[in-house]
Amino acid sequence: MPLLVLRGVTPVHAQSPHDVSFLSTLGELREATYSDKANIVDRLSKSGHPSVRAVLTALLEDRLYFRNNDRKIFIVKTAEGDPLNLIDPVSLRDAGSAPVDSLTQIGTNNALRRELRTAVARFALSSPEVGVRLDAVREMLRSLDDASVALLRARLGVETDGGVKKEIKTGLALAALDSSDTKGRLEAIATLKQSLSQDVRNRLALLLDKSADGTFVERDEKVRREAASAVEMIDSWRRLYSAIQTLFFGLSLGSVLVLIAIGLAITFGVMGVINMAHGELMMLGAYTTYAVQVAMPGHVGVSILAAIPAAFIVAGLTGVLMERTIIRFLYGRPLETLLATFGVSLILQQAVRSIFSALNRSVVTPGWMSGSLRLNDALEVTYNRLYVVIFTLMVFCLILVVLKRTRVGLEIRAVAQNRAMAKAMGIRTEWVDAVTFGLGSGVAGVAGVALSQLTNVGPNLGQSYIIDSFMVVVFGGVGNLWGSLIGGMSMGIVNELLEPWAGAVLAKIFILVALILFIQARPRGLFPQAGRAAEDK
Amino acid sequence: MKRKAKAMVMTGWLLIAGTGFSKAAVAEETIKVGVLHSLSGTMAISETTLKDTILMMIDAQNKKGGLLGKKLEPVVVDPASNWPLFAEKAAQLLEKDKVAVVFGCWTSVSRKSVLPVFEKDNGLLFYPVQYEGEESSKNVIYTGAAPNQQAIPAVDYLMKEVGVKRWVLEGTDYVYPRTTNKILEAYLKLKGVKAEDISINYTPFGHSDWQSRVAAIKKFGSAGKKTAVVSTINGDANVPFYKELGNQKISAEDIPVVAFSVGEEELSGLDAKPLLGHLAAWNYFESINTPANKAFIAQWHTFIKNPKRTTNDPMEAHYIGFNLWVKAVEKARSTDVEKVLSALPGLETPNLTGGVAKVLPNHHITKPVYIGEVKADGQFNVVWKSAAEVPGDAWSRYLPGSKDIVADWVTLKCGNYNTITKKCSGQNYK
């Protein structure tokens, strides 16, 4: 009963004529085509109604609906769930709820969303958060009109943050390029010279164009000269940053290569086992990530961290099982090991096909791993790649510490260098073999966690990386962890340098050919293992 | 104990009923329908759905009383994503099982592999997937889109409605993207786009390191002209591609990507947020609200016993193809391939989106074209549709080698008639 009363009361609140015209404009959205909608949005944002911002934001985020039976327009709180909670678009008060079926969403397309974003940005200009203001100014710079310029000019007077001020000044300078006063244009160019933005560069370059009759668009020669030098300056900075970006791409691809190769550097490098199932151990790690994520719904970020030890254990135990049941009977017989582990790889692939189906599984990327870190207008670094680089270095250091500073590591090295002597010293070599293989496999699993963030988690994940990982280990020098690090990183960088002009397919071929030639000249790789152990192999 | 006994009695009855039924089925003459789709291997993901679609259509037709008073009997074989095996299995269906018609194939290479078999044994194949064109066989009905029913309208939409001036043609390195991009490049140049405003690039199957490609697209798109990517990227490689676009903050509002091989089925397995607003061009979308489509989706959910399964464009093509075949058989009053083939051109059947699919003399059909933007739930929001159904072209009008060639199986009885030399150059034209 109280609910009923409340429902009766809500719509009765006073509707001013302003509200009525706002509502009728809003109502036109129901039937309009996309180009008409753009027009309506323009009228709405000029109406000055207090709830314009909320309505436009809702439209931008696909949260504006109309009810099918009475055709009234509502904002919904979140677009997920059933029933949806409604908000009245004029008073912005709660207006009950309604099942999804009884509502129709007011759709948007790309062009309309672009328009809406600019309209919403104007409101965000006075937000208390610096980041929101900065984004708003950048958004407005993309399509400057007189109204935005006036808003920016007003904002400059009260703005306190230096970064935002700088962006606003850029915007005003861009607008000043159209001024009829030569001095004003020269000053604007002097300001814009500091910028790194491609949009600014393109705008300045327009000054150098000739119009159809052969005369320059910009009539003043001094302005043209200044503009040309500004374009040249921005270009040279952008070239520098683009080189840095390519280097980063190379490092990030390199660290993926290193990550997939570290495990192999232990099993193949230290033990000499050609493990064709190495890729499938990575696949197990990736599937473990998926399983952990399914088991922890709602905690995407934590689940990725939890997946790291889980993947190490799953892949590590699988590795120990493989070593105990198959590989230990085949030491010293590389061909049989190769075939047996290839068989294991097929079994593992079919196993995940049966358990998880042949379809790829989608592993959700946590918020802090998507997007990119903006260093300046010309250089952005994607977070997922950045984390992979850091993660690789951490794993590498950890393995190095385990091998060089712990007792297990000492025993592993001892067995690798001289099995008979180690045995004579009282080391249980069989146990050490199992631990070494388990360690290598576990690291492969950990690499799988990282791969789940970069590529598809499916039964074929391992196959697409196995060749690359062997290439890195062979190039770096069998049995040398540092070799794998340097080898992987340099292969990554060379690949990224080649790719832009050779294309992805040719770049791969070039690298393979170069690697073959290199191995011809230095059969033991970049950092050959010295001493007796090397002679034995 | 009692329950067990009861169950045993039941089983016994079922067995008797079962044998009785199968005997009856054997005695009764059936019409055999071949289903040639990979049920294992890499293509199983896509093709299994199509096998189920045909089984559903056959089931529904039998419930309506069959065809010409006989029941339809599906003969399902598994070519296992292995192209030479497609030809072997096709020969088995036509020569050993003597099927009246075959519904099958997905990739162009599998179609090319079975083509000689169908022509030798005079079989009938309904091919349901969008393809690169440049083909018309007497024995194949192409119910998927030719380039002028998908790629060309999509480019037109971007050019006219979105105002795109610069083009990136990004594809996986195999025959469909290469032929489609060749046609698109010729078309764009015809429309006055300069060579420096077109960038064509190919990546291998399953490419996962998209950093530098996406950075290059971003750079290409920042020249001050509206840029779009036309993607013929196939399968797996799409997920890391769209992820990288999202991470490098290229939104559909800045540089829209229009894809020809990303549909509801592909989106159902992944997080659609990075794809928001990107485009796809198809002849059917699950989200199109017509009574026929609603009924089809409901029928599909009941048949597959999973209310979450999506429907997609090739499924609609099979729906159309099956109905066309049924109509042709009823018209010819026979399942004889020659008679059915002569009955097919000119036949019409309603499609699922409120239009009509008509078989053309070149063995392609008329299809409406839709452009949709990806929504957060993995469905498409239709932003453009063609004014009327577009007739499929077997031979592209925009390629120098093929624009003089016409296919006409009604009057000319030829799939590649050269209008200049006035010669039918035979099936092996190249």
Backbone angles phi, psi at A7, to 5 degrees: -60, -40
Cβ–Cβ contacts within 10 Å for residue A465, how many? 24
What are A195-233's pLDDT values in tens digits? Answer: 888 888 888 888 888 777 777 777 788 888 888 999 999
| Same-domain status, A289 and A393 | yes
- Residue A222 tokens read as 């001094």
Evaluate whether B103 touches B34 at the Cβ level (below 8 Å): yes
Cα-based angle B288, B294, B300 (whole degrees, multiple of 5)? 115
Residue A224 lies in a domain: no
The pLDDT, as a whole number, for residue A14 is 60
| Same-domain status, A333 and A457 | yes
| Same-domain status, B168 and B230 | yes
| Same-domain status, B135 and B158 | no
| Same-domain status, B247 and B378 | yes
Cβ–Cβ contacts within 10 Å for residue A99, how many? 9
| Same-domain status, A105 and A157 | no
B267: helix, strand or coil = helix
B234: helix, strand or coil = coil
Q: Which residues pair with B172 in a beta bridge?
A: B203
- Cβ–Cβ of B236/A360 closer than 8 Å? yes
DSSP state of A54: H
| Same-domain status, B51 and B80 | yes
The predicted complex's ipTM stands at: 0.84
CA atoms within 13 A on the CB side of A157: 5
| Same-domain status, B105 and B209 | no
Q: Which domain holds residue B70?
A: 28-146+291-368
What band does B150 get if pLDDT is binned at 50, 70 and 90? very high
The pLDDT, as a whole number, for residue A537 is 44
Strands A84-87 and B370-374: unpaired
Evaluate whether A260 touches A492 at the Cβ level (below 8 Å): no
Nearest-Cα residue of chain B relative to residue A451: B208
- Cβ–Cβ of A360/B239 closer than 8 Å? yes
Q: Is A186 left (phi over 0), alpha (psi -120 to 50) or beta?
A: alpha
The pLDDT, as a whole number, for residue A119 is 86
Nearest to B211 among A249, A503, A508 (CB): A249
- Cβ–Cβ of B224/A202 closer than 8 Å? yes
Identify the residue with better confidence: B323 or A173.
Answer: B323
| Same-domain status, A277 and A202 | no
Q: Judge whether B166 is closer than 8 Å to chain A, CB to CB.
A: no
- CB-CB neighbors (< 8 A) of B377 in chain A: none
The one-letter amino acid at B56: M
| Same-domain status, A261 and A403 | yes
For residue B291, cis peptide bond before it (omega within 30 degrees of 0): no
CA distance B347 to B188: 34
| Same-domain status, B387 and B346 | no
- First CA to last CA distance, chain A: 87
| Same-domain status, B81 and B108 | yes
**What is the CATH number for B195?**
3.40.50.2300
Residue B17 lies in a domain: no
Evaluate whether A126 touches A111 at the Cβ level (below 8 Å): no
Strands A103-105 and A372-376: unpaired
CA distance A61 to B210: 28
Residue of B209, B222, B233 to mutate, testing the A interface (most A Cβ within 10 Å of its Cβ): B209
Residue B179 lies in a domain: yes
Q: Is the pLDDT reported for residue A32 higher than 90? A: no
What band does B111 get if pLDDT is binned at 50, 70 and 90? very high
The pLDDT, as a whole number, for residue A282 is 96
What band does A247 get if pLDDT is binned at 50, 70 and 90? very high
What band does B28 get if pLDDT is binned at 50, 70 and 90? low
Q: Is the pLDDT reported for residue A479 higher than 80? A: no
Evaluate whether B80 touches B39 at the Cβ level (below 8 Å): yes
Count of structural domains, chain A: 3
- Cβ–Cβ of B211/A505 closer than 8 Å? no
The mean of the pLDDT values for chain B is 88
- First CA to last CA distance, chain B: 73
Lowest-confidence pick of A415-419, B10-14, B401-405: B10-14
Residue B243 lies in a domain: yes
**Sequence-ordered alpha helix ranges (H) in A326-368:** 334-356
Evaluate whether B297 touches B82 at the Cβ level (below 8 Å): no
Q: Is the pLDDT reported for residue A122 higher than 90? A: no
Q: Strand (E) positions, A322-447?
A: 372-376, 379-382
CA distance B244 to B221: 16
| Same-domain status, B55 and B123 | yes
Question: Among A48, A80, A111, where does a domain finish?
Answer: A111
| Same-domain status, A331 and A372 | yes
The pLDDT, as a whole number, for residue B422 is 83
Q: Is the pLDDT reported for residue B24 higher than 70? A: no
Residue A67 lies in a domain: yes
The pLDDT, as a whole number, for residue A439 is 94
- CB-CB neighbors (< 8 A) of B373 in chain A: 109-110
User: Residue A316: which of A451, A445, A411 has the closest Cα?
Assistant: A445
CA distances from A465 to A121, A321, A444, B229 (A): 44, 22, 11, 28
What are A299-309's pLDDT values in tens digits? Answer: 888 999 999 99
User: Residue B234: which of B199, B260, B215 has the closest Cα?
Assistant: B260
Q: Is the pLDDT reported for residue B326 higher than 90? A: yes
Residue B23 lies in a domain: no
- CB-CB neighbors (< 8 A) of A496 in chain B: 211-212
CA A280 to chain centre: 24
- CB-CB neighbors (< 8 A) of A380 in chain B: 248-249
- Residue A278 tokens read as 């190495």
DSSP, residue by residue, A264-283: HIIIIIIT----TTHHHHHH
| Same-domain status, A466 and A407 | yes
Q: Which domain holds residue A101?
A: 16-111
CA distance A479 to A465: 20
Nearest-Cα residue of chain A relative to residue B265: A359
- Residue B42 tokens read as 């890499």
The pLDDT, as a whole number, for residue A406 is 94
Residue A518 lies in a domain: yes
CA distance B163 to B241: 24
What are B343-382's pLDDT values in tens digits? Answer: 999 999 999 999 999 999 999 999 999 999 998 888 999 9
| Same-domain status, B251 and B131 | no
Residue A6 lies in a domain: no
Number of H helices, E strands in chain B: 12, 19
Question: Among A219, A252, A273, where does a domain finish?
Answer: A219
DSSP state of A366: P
Whole-structure pTM value: 0.84
| Same-domain status, A397 and A316 | yes
Q: Is the pLDDT reported for residue A534 higher than 50? A: no
Q: Can you tell me the mean pLDDT for A73-94?
A: 86
| Same-domain status, A388 and A417 | yes
